[in-house]
Structure 1
Amino acid sequence: MSAPPVVPAIFWDHEPVQRALAERHLGRVIRAYRCHPYHGRIALPQTVVAGWLGITQAQLSRVENGPPLVHLDRLAHWAKLLRVPPGSLWFRLSGQQHWPDASPMSGEAICAHADDQGIERGDRATVAVNVEQAPSQGGGATDRRRFNVMAALAVLAAGGHTYLLPGPPAEVPGSIGIGQVRLASSLVDDLRRADAAAGADLLCDVAMQAHTRLSAWAARASYSREVGDALQSALADLSIEAAWLAIDADRRSEARPYLHEAITRARIADDPQVEVRALTHLSLLIRESQPGESLHCAEAALRISAGWATPRLTTLLHLRRAPAYAVLGDFSGFSREMAKARRELDRGPHEDDQGFVHFVNAQELNGIEGLSYLALGRPERAVRSLRSITANPSPRHRRNQVYYTVRLSEAAYQQGDVNEAARVALDALPAVNQINSKRVSQHLAQVRGILAAPQQATTTTRQFVDAYDQAVGV
């Protein structure tokens, strides 16, 4: 993050920001900005924001905690730099009455569905606040959760899914038609959009709540046989999405029942595509703990999809098998599956590609290769594969890029280069704070624990550990 991000308009409605603006203290505005839940579970480090402002970390600390600034030039320059809305300021800015329209969070279309419906930005914010009335806690964990979940709920409410959302049970029809099944199916797409923007942490609670309500509705409503098959597929898809969010939020024990349910529902509906999706996620979930079973799941998915699988789907299934072989210590099996994955990926995209394979690209292939080499105890090869991701990032798949960057730090440490491990981890720290993936943040916490050991102490490792501790409030 070499410059301040463009933030959505709702950013400035955050209570600590509003309070700091009312106090006419730009230093406190900057502190509220750093600690805003938009940036993730962990506040932006003072060193990062100080770099934007052109001052040192120590100077920024004095600005945040000292008396209010009175120099108009500096006030105006910093307000413009952070894009503080001019109407919220207690002084006039020259030459600029408004900022450009804010982009969605993390560069992703957080409210794409809402935009399709013609809902204005302010209306989306109102919908979100009406859906969840979590209390503000001055920038703490509860407030961060509220902001991120509000973003997701805004998308779901705009898509017409209010009866599935947290809160008092809403009145639902006594019968289900195909139109309502399509609406329920679109919920999965909306959850994916929200996940791409806000991250899986605690968003999985929203998916699980929606799954519970939709399942309860389906159990007591009446519908035709045709609608019943479509409904089973929709429920299976929602189960798969809830499982994925649980995996990325590092709540893996909660994911497996959803995937077993998805497989059962897919078989009831005779829907092999949904069954393959469920098996693909199950193979990922159990790879470390049950690599043999993980292989069988991917093999079953290959068998079921024979004749209709696109090259990208086949690539993904081979990429599920390759690391499972690596965990088992089978280098030849790993090499064989990686060769098949490369061959399939080279065939390119297909018009029949399912939405859930959108992330299958060269970056993902290199990432899986790197993780497999780590499992095989070959960190030097892992570093080579994982470094290719940081050298050629894929902006559309930022979470995966950040995940593999953190794993590159682990590989560098295992290779014996603690300074490189610390440099990579320090570069990844701001991005990890933003994506709200506990799966990723847990790996970075492990890196911090390793590099904080006295025997690893160097100037670079201390710099990373200090930055990490300041960011998480240790």
Structure 2
Amino acid sequence: MTHANCPRCGGRLARDNDSGRCTPCQAAERDRLSAPPPVPASFWEHEPVRQALAERHLGRVIRAYRCHPYHGRVALPQSVVAGWLGITQAQLSRVENGPPLVHLDRLAHWAQLLGIPASRLWFGLPGQPYRVDDRAAEGTADDPYAHDAITEQGKLPAMAVTVERASTGGGGTTDRRRFNAMAALAGIAAVGHPYLMTDPAEVPRNIGMEQVRLASSLVQDFRRADAAAGADQLCDVAVQAHARLSTWAAKANYSREVGDALQSALADLSIQAAWLATDAERRPEARPYLNEAITRARIADDPRMEVQALTQLSMLLRESQPGESLHCAEAALRVSARWATPRLSTLLHLRRAHTYAVLTDAGGFSREMTKARRELERGPHEDDLGFVDFVNEQEVNGIQGLSYLALDRPDRAAQSFRAIIANPSPGHRRNQVYYTVHLSEAEYQQGNVNEAARIALDVLPTVSQMNSGRISRHLGQVRSNLAAPRQATTATRQFVTAYDRAVSA
């Protein structure tokens, strides 16, 4: 192919054609201002693209993508590609010329948007197995832990397995917590995080991108382990990991590029630590982490991370400071206005709906629930970020049920919770258990004590295995209600006895 051929279809160009594209190809891609064009498999064989992928730098991949001859003689403008990605031209310039991105949600989102084949990536994509070629599996001089950090899809990382085994350790509460934390730290080292096992007083003199990448992958390890072992087992581990890495960020030496990337990685770890503290029913510990995450996200110019932190902060403040909870959800809607997917919008409207219910504003609750359901009906989107994975029909029914409880409508709440049980979401078992406990509460509030006891007894073994302080607290409240002398029946006594036996075991 010569300069006189269209790089897209190979056809000859007219002598007066100065666009680098034939007329049919220009017509076929008139919508490229709104979305990336489809590209052939050979597109990714172009040497600058191959080199950028080998360097594991998505910003350079994007720059090579823009300048690919497939697009014509003139490179795609940064403003056009920035529009696809939901960022500004200035932000894209920093992405292309700055340090490598380390936030996995953003990496996966942009890779999918541009249509980069999964086999050429150094990270996994949602819903796809992570495959690497032989060279990647052997690791590189720049990333000696690359092979160690890879875990097979569907297989628990070593950290999760270790924590699960550690849960059988004896001793008092403090000793058991310390034992579990140390066991989990050993597991972290096994999957590529040995730097967390060093003495807290030992701060490395210099930090490079290797440590930043490992910090980012650590968050993914926590998420997988949380699903397997529960937040109660992991909260102290996350707190220690966050403290260690924050100390490094404050005291070690690193380049400006590394520092920028470190802000985003630490924001992600702060959000994960906040979630673990919330689910472990250590809520007062959560807010400082979310405040920190918002600050770091703004420093890193990472609006998606900021929205994630604001969304979680809205949930955390709902009961104690509902007015501020509403403001957090509104801020998240405002920040994400240009790029929010339907599922993200659904989640933010659900946050507002539940908070309005806590404020006993039935009108506000109804309006936001209508908006949430309207957004959910638009379906999933290829640009969905990882943290909205749980937003589905079951979650909408669950938030609706919790809101009806807050509005003193236990009959309507029970209907919503039963809809979840009738149509469970296998991938979100903890949420289903959480809403089942609330179904027991709704039945109790209606005076159906025997049905409440039956539901609570059925879910008790699962709650005992969940290691979620948040769920355990709610079931404990059900136990207190059913243990009242005026509620004494065969069913309630059976549940109370079983509950007390499980707690003392």
Same fold by TM-score, threshold 0.5 exceeded? yes
Which shifted more, 382-391 or 144-153?
A: 144-153
In the TM superposition, residue 364 of structure 1 has moved relative to its aligned partner by 0.8
Q: 2:379 aligns with which of 343, 348, 355?
A: 348
**Aligned residue number for residue 308 of structure 2:** 277
What is the CA–CA distance in structure 1 between the aligned matches of 2:148 and 2:427, rounded to whole Å?
20
Which residue identity is paired with 1:369?
Q
Query: Could you say which residue in structure 1 is the equivalent of 2:32?
Result: none
Alignment of 1:374-393 (within 5 A): 374-393=405-424
Which residues in structure 2 correspond to 1:68-467 (within 5 Å)? 116=150, 124=158, 128=162, 136-137=169-170, 145=177, 149=181, 152-153=184-185, 155-165=187-197, 168-169=199-200, 173-467=204-498
Compute the displacement of 1:312 (Å): 1.2
Tell me if structure 1 keeps the 8 A contact 2:270–2:290. Answer: yes
Query: What whole-Å deviation, never above 9, does each CA across 1:397-438 have from its counterpart, x for those lacking one?
Result: 111111110011001111111111101101110000001001
Whose RCO is larger (CA < 8 A, sep 6+)?
Answer: 1
Answer whether contact 2:160 2:225 (CA < 8 A) is retained. no
**Cα pair 1:152 1:194 within 8 Å, conserved:** no
Aligned partners of 2:278 and 2:286 also within 8 Å: yes
Conserved? CA contact 1:329–1:376, under 8 Å: yes
| Aligned-partner Cα distance in 2 for 1:293–1:147 | 38
CA separation in 1, counterparts of 2:390 and 2:160?
Answer: 32
Q: Distance in 1 between matches of 2:381 and 2:259?
A: 30
Say which SS state the counterpart of residue 231 (structure 2) adopts: coil
Q: Distance in 2 between matches of 1:426 and 1:308?
A: 44
From the superposition, tell whether residues 148 and 199 of structure 1 become closer, same or farther in structure 2 (CA, over 3 Å): farther
The aligned length equals 358
Q: Residue 163 of structure 1 aligns to which amino acid in structure 2?
A: Y
Distance 1:196 1:151, change over 3 A: farther
1:53-92 deviations in Å (ceiling 9; x for gaps): xxxxxxxxxxxxxxxxxxxxxxxxxxxxxxxxxxxxxxxx
Match of 2:125 in 1: none
Q: SS in structure 2 opposite 1:201? A: helix
Deviation at 1:183? 1.4
Aligned residue number for residue 33 of structure 1: none
- Greater radius of gyration (CA): 2
Change (3 A) 1:298 1:127: closer
Distance (Å, rounded) in 2 between the aligned partners of 1:297 and 1:170: 37
Distance in 2 of aligned mates of 1:350 and 1:150: 40
Q: Per-residue displacement from partner, 1:428-461 (whole Å, max 9, x unpaired)?
A: 1000000100110011111111101111011111
For structure 1, list consecutive stretches of 5 or more residues without a partner in the other structure. 1-108
Pair 115,232 (structure 1): closer, same or farther in 2 beyond 3 Å: closer
Quote the offset at 1:266 in angstroms: 1.0
The 1:297/1:155 distance shift into structure 2, 3 A limit, reads: same
Check conservation: 2:440, 2:456, Cα contact below 8 A: yes
* C-alpha contact (below 8 Å) 1:155/1:190 kept by paired residues: no
- For 1:261 and 1:374, locate their aligned partners in 2 and report how far apart those are by CA, in whole Å: 32
Q: 1:467 to 1:356 in 2, by over 3 A?
A: same
Deviation at 1:210, TM superposition (A): 0.4
- When residues 221 and 232 of structure 1 are mapped into structure 2, their CA distance, relative to the original with a 3 A threshold, is same
Give distance in 1, aligned partners of 2:190 and 2:255: 28
| CA RMSD, Structure 1 to Structure 2 (Å) | 3.0
Distance 1:176 1:362 in 2: 44
Rounded to whole Å, the distance in 1 between the matches of 2:305 and 2:409 is 36
Specify whether residues 186 and 376 from structure 1 end up closer, same or farther in structure 2 by C-alpha distance, changes over 3 A only. Answer: same
Q: Which runs of 4+ in 1 moved over 6 A?
A: 132-135
User: For residues 191 and 235 of structure 1, what CA distance do their matches in structure 2 show?
Assistant: 14
Cα offset, 1:168, TM superposition: 3.1
Displacement, 1:162?
2.3
Q: Which amino acid aligns with 1:116?
A: I
Q: Cα 1:328–1:202, aligned 2, differ >3 Å: closer, same or farther?
A: same
Whole-Å separation in 2 of the counterparts to 1:142 and 1:169: 20
> What are the Cα deviations for residues 274-299 of structure 1, in whole angstroms up to 9, with x where unaligned?
11111111100010111111000000
The 3 A distance-change label for structure 1 pair 213 and 151 is closer
In the TM superposition, what is the alpha-carbon distance from 1:202 to its structure 2 partner?
4.0
Identity rate of aligned residues, in percent?
Answer: 74
**8 Å contact 1:128–1:150 — kept in the other structure?**
no
